[in-house]
Amino acid sequence: MHPSQSSRATVRIQNRLGLHARPAMSFVDTANGFDCEIRVRKGGQVVDGKSIMQMMMLAATQGTELHLQADGPDAGTAVAALTELVDRKFDED
Amino acid sequence: MKLNDLIIPTAIVPQLEHTDRDSAIEELIDALIASRSVSKALRGDLIKLIIDREKKGSTGFGKGVAVPHVKHAKIKGMAAAIGVSQQGVDFNSLDKSPVYSIILLLSPENKPDEHLQAMENIFSNLQNDTFRRFLRQSTTVEEIQDLIQEADAQQLQG
């Protein structure tokens, strides 16, 4: 068994209002459904994708590129779920 | 963007009277109205929108802080109030703990990027243990104003 897995993806925030509190909460809720560690990077800033306070520090406006990195047993599924959430614009717009 | 650009000095309430969420929100809105940051005509509307927002998902994100907020077409510029409670306010927080510091933010409806910048600034500070501790310990407007100056000048230890 290989418990350690790594997965990455780059996503772009597409909804008009950006990553404000509600979508940030959806992101964190989704992230917390997985065991892996999830880091989100914007430029040189890296935050914990499972912390709402840290995610709000990204000020990710519409068009912002975010780099997701997951490490842990369910990293692949986690990145796929988070990418899907961002791509469907958090059900906004 | 700095805290000083957001926080209305006369809307700093170092000793909140109420310990329930809805009344604390009303106190802070009233402080913003008394500061002439927002029209009294919007009072009911804003309070209802903020409470409705809280019911959908608490902005008490843990660590004893809450950031209730609303975007409104009739808000011209961003304005924030700060409330500190020694007893703690029941904000239905994610971690189920009371909140001791509340930053209430009003944003114009059509400036989502500025809203995110303001939230970024607020959360960067609230994420800082020293800022959070000093804010909670403050009992006067002057202490909170000094804290804001130090935070904006990045003089606080992380």
Given the residues A17, A20, A32, A67, the one annotated as active site? A20
Query: CA-to-CA distance for A73 and A54, rounded, in angstroms?
Result: 23
Average of pLDDT values for A63-86?
A: 98
Q: What is the pLDDT of residue B23?
A: 98
Query: What does the DSSP assignment read for A18-38?
Result: -S-HHHHHHHHHHHTTSSSEE
Per the annotation, the verdict on A20 as an active-site residue is yes
Pairwise CB contact (< 8 Å): A53 & B123: yes
Q: How many CB pairs under 8 A join A and B?
A: 50
Q: Which of these, A46, A51, A55, A49, lies nearest to A20 by C-alpha position?
A: A55
Average of pLDDT values for A64-91?
A: 97
Report ipTM (2 d.p.): 0.91
At B62, is the pLDDT very low, low, confident or very high (cuts 50, 70, 90)? very high
Average of pLDDT values for B77-103?
A: 97
At A93, is the pLDDT very low, low, confident or very high (cuts 50, 70, 90)? confident
Q: What is the pLDDT of residue B135?
A: 97
Q: Is the predicted pLDDT of residue B10 greater than 80, yes or no?
A: yes
